[in-house]
Each structure stands twice: as C-alpha cells, then as structure tokens.
Amino acid sequence: MDLVCDNIVEEILRRLPAKYLHRVRAVSRRYNDLVVSPGFVARYWQSHAPHLCGVFLQTESLIRPWGHFPDFLAVSPRPSATESMFASDLGFLPHLPESELQVETMGDAKKILIVHSTAGLLLCCRGRNNVGQYYVCNPVSWQWVSLPELPWRHYRQYGILSVTDNGDGIIRCFQVFLFNHPMDWHKTGGGLGFKVFSSETGQWRATAMRFSHLNDHGHSPLFLGQSGTAYYTTHGAKDLVMAYNCAHASIRVIPSPDSVPESPRNRCIGERQGGSLRHAHIDSSVFEVWDLQQESENGWTLVHQVSVMELAQRNLEEATYLAKCGRSTVQGLIDSYSLFPLLGFHPTEDIIYMDVGHYVAAYSMEQGTMRYESPRQCFHNDLFSYGHPAHPVVIPTIKEAPVLV
C-alpha cells in the first residue's frame, strides 16, 4: 500500500463502512491524514448518502435474540462493497443478560423498537408495553448513548427526538419528548402533559401545556416528522391538520387540501427533506398527493392525481392479489376506501409506501406503478422516514446529572 498513490488509497478507504474509519486512522499517520482531510470527508459522505436515505419498517414478524428486527428500504440499492456499513437491525445496541430481566416482562424487554428519526439519528426504546430504557443511536456509525432511567412508571408513548446545532450541521445537544396521542389530550381540558429529557442537563422533567385548538371529534393517526413535529387531523366542519412542534412548544393549524373529503379513512401526512409537507389520500374515486411549503399557510399544490380505477388497472396484479387476501373484489375495495392502504412517504423521492395484502409496496408517482419491497405487514406507525446527512453525525455527550443528597 505504501507504493499506491493517495488518490487510489482514498478510493479504497471510501468503500469502508463508517464504523471502521476510526480504526483506519490508527494504522498510520498517512491514513489518519487522509481520513480527516476535508476533501475525503466530503467525498465519503456524498458518495454514501444516497444509499442511506429511505424508510425503516418495524414489525414483529422476525425476532432475533436481542429482540426487534427492523428493515430498511432505500431507493438506490447499496453496492455489495458497502453492504455492511448500515446496521438497520440495531443489533449493536446493548443486550440485557437474562439475570437482569424480570420474568413477567422478559419477552417484551428484549425488544428494541424505533420511536422516532431525525438528523441521521434514531430514538429507540427497549420494550413495547413497559419501557425499560431509551437510546439515541446512529445506525451508520453504530454510536449510541443510553438515557437515564425514567423517574416515573412509564408505558410506551409517542416520542420525538429533537437536535440543536450551531448552524454547521454539528449537533450540540438533543432533547427527547414523550407524550400521549392527541385524542387523549381533550380528556384533561386541552392539556398536554409530557416528559422531557435534555442532554445538556442529563435529567428528565415533567411539564404541561394547554391548547385551545383541540376538540372532542375523532382524530386521525399521528404522524411524526423529522423536524420534531407531530401531525394529526381533527375532523369537523373543515378538517384541520394540527402540527405540534416539540422543540418550539408551538402548534400550527393547517387546513387540509380543499379537494380532500371530510374524514377519509385512507390518507397519510409526511415531511419532505427541505421543509415541505406532503399529504396523500385515496377514496372511492381519486388518489391525490399534495405538497405544502412550510412558509405557506394555504398554498397546497396538487403534485399527483389519478383515478382509483386507473390506478387499479395500472397495478392489476397487486389489486387482484389485495382483493383475494381481503375476500372481496377490486370494486369492493374501491368502494370501501380499502384499495392500497397508505403507509407513508420516502423522504426525498416521489415514492409512497402502501400495504398490498400484508406486503409493503413502493408506488412511484413518476411511473404510476408499484413494486414489492418487503414481505412484511406494516402499519403507518411502523414506518419511519430516515436520511443520514452528507457529513458525519456524532451524538453529543450527555451531561452527568448532579447527585441529589
């Protein structure tokens, strides 16, 4: 290797998984200088970023010794040389010895579940029903930190991970917010109670807020955005999208697109990298996708539209298979809003993930067709958009909390 020029050595090192780069630096001063050089860092992450953008699927159909086994779907298949650089199974998180597990929660405590995704990091928890531990991790570099144990008895709630940087992409600190589904908020008079952890203090705290926008009408499923915002829809004379941002403790009210019928059962909301909001729905007549820029209040733009019958004809094999699984007909699925249940969006590509007979399929807005992606049943709250930035992402150190005497 000493006879090989730096350009070729860089090409070799660029194909290594990120978790091995720190070991390469220890080989020699030459390798260390190459790996830490700004040019190599930029080229390394730019070349890998397209393969590290997609969605995590979280189901319980496959169980490994350490618990839950998520799957990752990317539009661009990873080259075989980089197969091992992405730890989508989260197997690098710590295993609990059997001696530390209580008999009544042993099976549940083994499971590692994804709670939220942002800035190339994942918020995970151990256990679905009785959460024993929360983690923040980077599935690319395999770095992880465990959060202090909650000082309250805790069952799994919705959670959001929020990060703060100095404008240069380097994460300075992070916060974790745990809260109940908005459909329960009106039971406390429009109050939201949540638990907050900050890496700057190393402590959990309980706090509450009150909102005047909540009502007793039914609520749609909750969708969590990478910006740290929770989206849900209230049904009334005019459906409204309520966007609660945890980091800024603010709530934004957004009218649904005008053509969306009241209370459609088959729709989803998601964020696009770059700041726009995406809304899709499918009813008995039409499938539509709308985009909304964050700086606009009512500027929904229709970006894709197709009749449901045409959609079924374009994807006749999938529609027929779905009807067979549901012991119905294609027309029966269309009439009941059950044709191609919507799961979520790809964060950067014009792709929508759908449930086709308990298989996850990717629908291309550009081609109008879908392809099978995973033979696993998935629900909307089991799909997490993920995108690793084109630069290293390091989890900041958690400040040690003071010991109370």
**What 8-state DSSP symbol labels residue 147?**
P
Digit-by-digit pLDDT tens for the chain (405 residues) are 888 888 898 888 888 877 788 788 888 999 889 888 888 888 888 887 777 888 998 865 444 444 457 888 887 655 443 444 566 778 888 876 655 555 445 556 667 889 999 999 999 988 777 777 899 999 888 899 999 988 776 666 789 999 998 777 789 999 999 987 666 665 555 566 788 999 999 999 988 776 655 554 555 678 888 888 888 877 766 678 888 888 787 888 888 887 666 556 788 899 987 778 999 988 888 899 999 876 555 688 999 999 989 998 899 888 888 888 877 888 888 887 788 889 999 998 999 999 888 888 999 999 999 888 888 777 788 899 998 888 888 899 998 866 554
Residues 308 and 261: their CA atoms lie apart, in Å, by: 15
Residue 3 lies in a domain: no
- CA end-to-end distance (rounded Å), the chain: 58
Residues 264 and 69: their CA atoms lie apart, in Å, by: 32
pLDDT of residue 318: 87
Count of domains for the chain: 1
Residues 264 and 286: their CA atoms lie apart, in Å, by: 12
DSSP string for 29-81:
HHHHHHHHSHHHHHHHHHHHGGGGEEEEE--SSSEETTEE--EEEESSPPPGG
Residue 154 lies in a domain: yes
Range of the domain at 218: 37-387
What is the pTM (predicted TM-score) of this model?
0.84
Residue 6 lies in a domain: no
pLDDT of residue 353: 94
Residue 360 lies in a domain: yes
Residue 5 lies in a domain: no
Residue 24 lies in a domain: no
Where residue 190 sits, what CATH number does that domain have?
2.120.10
DSSP string for 239-275:
-EEEEEETTTTEEEEEEPPTTSPSS-SSEEEEE-TTS
Residue 8 lies in a domain: no
Residues 180 and 194: their CA atoms lie apart, in Å, by: 8
pLDDT of residue 216: 47
pLDDT of residue 174: 95
CB-based contacts of 325: which residues, under 8 Å, 6+ apart? Answer: 357, 358
Residue 95 lies in a domain: yes
